[in-house]
Amino acid sequence: MQTLTLTVNGAAVTLTLDERTLLVELLRDRLRLTGTHVGCDTSQCGACTVHLDGVAVKSCAVLAVQAEGAEILTIEGIGSAEHLHPMQAAFREHHGLQCGFCTPGMIMAGIDIASRHGPAPDEPTVRAELEGNLCRCTGYHNIVLAIQAGARAMGAPSPVSSPAATA
Amino acid sequence: MFPFTYHRPVELASAHALLVANEEAKLLAGGQTLIATLKQRLASPSDLVDLARVPGLTGIAREGGALVIGAMTRHAEVAASQQVAAAIPALADLAGRIGDPAVRNRGTLGGSIANNDPSADYPAACLGLDATIVTDRRELAAGDFFLGLFETALEPDEIILSVRFPIGGTATYAKFANPASRYAMAGAFLWRGEEGVRVAITGAGQNGVFRWSAAETALVADFSPAALVDIGLDGDEMIADIHGSGAYRAHLAGVMTRRAVARILERGSP
Ligand SMILES: Cc1cc2nc3c(=O)[nH]c(=O)nc-3n(C[C@H](O)[C@H](O)[C@H](O)COP(=O)(O)OP(=O)(O)OC[C@H]3O[C@@H](n4cnc5c(N)ncnc54)[C@H](O)[C@@H]3O)c2cc1C
Ligand code: FES
Ligand code: FES
């Protein structure tokens, strides 16, 4: 067992867990943040996408212990029912979802795309960037439109969110 | 997963000591391959030694005529680096086409080459650019490092620190990605410079990445796609699986190489 401390959606969390615990299991089973989904558990579908220190990762492919000291942002942390995040609002506006299973991952990936590519990513860019996020329902068309609209609404890219900026 | 003990050393020496003290220990880098392997119970290390907090393993620097990239440098960082784009644009391009953004945010150069997946991209760049793999005890030419399927020259307790990519010449990487996994079905890393031509093929060979010497000889004599038309790889020596037969991959590797030649002729790199 290991004890670890990390920040989840702005709140410090300390817990003791089995080393084998995945980050997604920590979020869903221990913290009951069930907005982050598990579609495949094999790093293919992106339903489990969260941000770790500002960048999108597949939380089914990260051990919880690897996130010691990290800042995790999940779909629960970006907005509320009353105040949707601009990317959430864009998904609603553009019908970027049907069953909604892939949506938390799509939105976290979308915010990551906007933070790296700025307010006007073109369609081929968004499609290429969605390589790791699968949707069984929508055919992607409206997801791409939603991410473009969400990126526009989010405005200029935030300089802190790109680890490569200093490289 | 089978149980393991997790370690987070903050010095290279303690990471190495953990490997020596625990024969069944394994290094953990980005985890994008290893964690899946653990989940499938294909590996049962007694200990995981996480390199994330070991200093000095990340970053990109120009040292003389080479670009030195730390083993723990993530694919996303290489892909977005102005320095890499300026010095060896084909390398930045290759890194930006590994998997998907979330994989690139975790996966590392060291993990990719230590794993030596026969369909991975970085091994082709190392071989094509004649890179040097720097470990905690020696320097290995890429040609001596990749030994076969998931096999390298690394000792069980050896740690990759960085890779040195020589700058110079022109290079490009042509990849036909598996539409589902994004791994290469066939990829050709082509380099042309004063010393000649190098062609490194990944995704196709049963023994992993390899230099296609017949193509290199033909291209030295005549650097054009036409020079390769009569040269073929042996389909019996290529990977055959549900995604494609050996003959298909042999053909595809030829097509990728010809595309790479055409691209260099058209507009330099990448
Ligand atoms: C969905 C998906 C798509 C992918 N697509 C591609 C693709 O298109 N092309 C491609 O090339 N790869 C692809 N990958 C693989 C990805 O690039 C991995 O990141 C990489 O193969 C392993 O790197 P890692 O840092 O995650 O290493 P880990 O998984 O942590 O480790 C891999 C192995 O390397 C060893 N190791 C790690 N670091 C060192 C070191 N410094 N010294 C010695 N040994 C070390 C570990 O012990 C382990 O055995 C994909 C992966 C996924 C999940
Ligand atoms: S559940 Fe993590 S990628 Fe599918
Ligand atoms: S909306 Fe159903 S999986 Fe995407």
Looking at the DSSP bridge assignments, the partners of residue B201 are B188, B210
Q: What is the pLDDT of residue A164?
A: 43
The yes-or-no verdict on residue A166 having pLDDT over 80 is: no
Q: How far is the CA of A59 from the centre of ligand 1 (A)?
A: 16
Cα separation, B130 vs B194, in Å, equals 13
| In a domain? residue B251 | yes
Phi then psi for residue B222, to 5 deg, are: -155, 100
Nearest chain A residue (CA) to B69: A167
Amino acid occupying residue B15:
A
B28–A66 C-beta distance less than 8 A: yes
Order of strands, edge to edge, in the sheet holding A71-73?
A11-17, A2-8, A71-73, A49-52, A55-58
CATH number, domain containing residue A62: 3.10.20.30
A129 in contact with B, Cβ within 8 Å = yes
Residues B162 and B65 in one domain: yes
Is A47's Cβ below 8 Å from some Cβ in B? Answer: no
Give the integer Cα–Cα distance in Å for B11 and B54: 5
Domain-ending residue, one of A77, A104, A122? A77
Q: CB atoms < 10 A from the CB of A159, how many?
A: 9
Residue A94, amino acid: H
Using CB atoms, which residue from A41, A42, A56 is nearest to B101? A56
Cα–Cα distance for residue pair A42/B32, rounded to 1 Å: 10
Same domain, A20 and A67: yes
Whether B64 and B111 map to the same domain: the answer is yes
User: Does residue A27 lie within any of the structural domains?
Assistant: yes
Give the Cα separation of A164 and B78 in Å (integer): 8
Nearest CA, atom 31, ligand 1: B111
Nearest CB to A164; choose among B5, B81, B106: B81
Whether the Cβ atoms of residue B161 and residue B134 lie closer than 8 Å to each other: yes
Ligand 2 mean position, distance from CA A42 (Å): 6
Q: Are residues A152 and A102 in the same domain?
A: yes
Domains in chain A: how many in total?
A: 2
Hunting for tokens 């082509």 — which residue is that? B190
CA of B161 to the centre of ligand 1 (A): 15
Domain end marker among B166, B187, B208 = B166
B182 and B155 in a single domain? The answer is: no
Distance (Å, rounded) from C-alpha B90 to C-alpha B84? 9
Q: Which long-range contacts link B209-216 to residues 24+ away (Cβ below 8 Å)? A: B209/B116, B209/B118, B209/B120, B209/B123, B209/B124, B209/B127, B209/B146, B210/B127, B211/B127, B211/B143, B212/B188, B212/B253, B212/B257, B215/B257
CA of A48 relative to ligand 2 center, distance in Å = 5
> Is the minimum CB–CB distance between A40 and chain B shorter than 8 Å?
no
**Same domain for B158 and B67:** yes
Distance CA B71, CA B174 (A): 24
pLDDT, residue A163, reads: 43
Task: State CA A150 to chain mean position distance.
Answer: 14
CA nearest to B76 within chain A: A164
Structural domain includes residue A161? no
Q: What's the CA angle centered on A35, arms A32 and A36, to 5 degrees? A: 95
Closest CA–CA distance from residue A84 to any residue of chain B (Å): 24
What does the pLDDT look like over A112-153, one tens digit per residue?
999 999 999 999 999 999 999 999 999 999 999 999 999 999
Ligand 1 contacts CB of residue B9 (under 6 A):
no
8 Å CB contact of B102 and A58: yes
Which positions in chain B touch A162 (Cβ < 8 Å)?
80
Does ipTM surpass 0.90 in this model? yes
Positive or negative torsion for Cα B86, B221, B195, B165: positive
Over its C-alpha atoms, chain A yields an Rg (Å, rounded) of 15
Question: How many angstroms separate the CA atoms of A130 and B21, rounded?
Answer: 43
Q: Which domain holds residue B40?
A: 5-48
Residues of chain B in contact with residue A19, where contact means CB-CB under 8 angstroms, are: 3-6, 48
HEC profile of chain A: CEEEEEEECCEEEEEEECCCCEHHHHHHHHCCCCCCCCCCCCCCCCCCEEEECCEEEEHHHCEHHHHCCCEEECHHHCCCCCCCCHHHHHHHHCCCCCCCCCHHHHHHHHHHHHHHHCCCCCHHHHHHHHHHCCCCCCCCHHHHHHHHHHHHHHCCCCHHHCHHHHC
Per-residue pLDDT of chain B (270 residues; tens, 9 = 90+): 999 999 999 999 999 999 999 999 999 999 999 999 999 999 999 999 999 999 999 999 999 999 999 999 999 999 999 999 999 999 999 999 999 999 999 999 999 999 999 999 999 999 999 999 999 999 999 999 999 999 999 999 999 999 999 999 999 999 999 988 899 999 999 999 999 999 999 999 999 999 999 999 999 999 999 999 999 999 999 999 999 999 999 999 999 999 999 999 997 545
Domain at B113, CATH number: 3.30.465.10
Are A115 and A73 in a shared domain?
no
Overall residue count recorded for chain A in this entry: 167
**What's CA A100's distance to the chain center, in Å?**
14
Contact flag B4-A20 (C-beta cutoff 8 Å): yes
* Residue A56 within a domain: yes
Q: Rounded CA gap, B179 and B244, in Å? A: 12
Give B-chain residues touching A166 at CB under 8 angstroms. Answer: none
- Domain enclosing residue A152, as ranges: 86-156
Q: How far is the CA of B177 from the centre of ligand 3 (A)?
A: 25
Instruction: Tell me how far apart the alpha carbons of residues B212 and B91 are, in angstroms, rounded to a whole number.
Output: 19
| B160 and B180 inside one domain | no
A100 and A68 together in one domain: no
Measured CB to CB, residues of chain B less than 8 Å from chain A are 1, 3-6, 8, 28, 31-32, 35-36, 38-39, 48, 50, 52, 59-60, 74, 76-83, 99-103, 105-106, 180-182
Listed residues B166, B195, B226: the one ending a domain: B166
* Ligand number with the minimum distance to the CA of B176: 1
Q: Which of B48, B50, B80 sits opposite A164 (nearest CB)?
A: B80
Spatial CA neighbour of B185 closest among B123, B128, B255, B252: B252
Model pLDDT, residue A165: 37
Q: Choose among B5, B28, B81: nearest Cβ to A167.
A: B81
Structure tokens at A12: 């410090």
pLDDT at A90: 98
Domain ends where: A60, A77, A94? Answer: A77
Is residue B161, in this structure, part of any structural domain at all? yes
DSSP label of B51: -
Helix (H, G, I), strand (E, B) or coil at B91: helix
Residues B112 and B68 in one domain: yes
Nearest to B71 by CA among B36, B38, B129, B111: B111
- A160 alpha carbon to ligand 2 midpoint, in Å? 26
Which of B35, B48, B182 faces A61 most closely, judged by CB atoms? B35
Tell me the per-residue pLDDT of A23-79, one tens digit each, with 9 for 90 and over: 999 999 999 999 999 999 999 999 999 999 999 999 999 999 999 999 999 999 999
Domain boundary pick from A51, A77, A103: A77
Which amino acid is it at A141? H
In this predicted structure, what is the pLDDT of residue B268? Answer: 57
Instruction: Specify the pTM.
Output: 0.95
For residue A105 and ligand 2, the question of a CB distance below 6 A is answered with no
Name the packing angle between helices A86-93 and A103-117 (round to 10°): 120
Rounded to whole angstroms, the Cα distance separating A43 from A60 reads 7
Q: Which two tokens stand for residue B189?
A: 């890393």
Interface test with B, best of A6, A25, A57, A162 (most B CBs within 10 A): A57
Same domain, B31 and B86: no
CATH of the domain at B237: 3.30.390.50
Q: Quick check: is B55 in a domain?
A: no
In a domain, residue A166? The reply is no
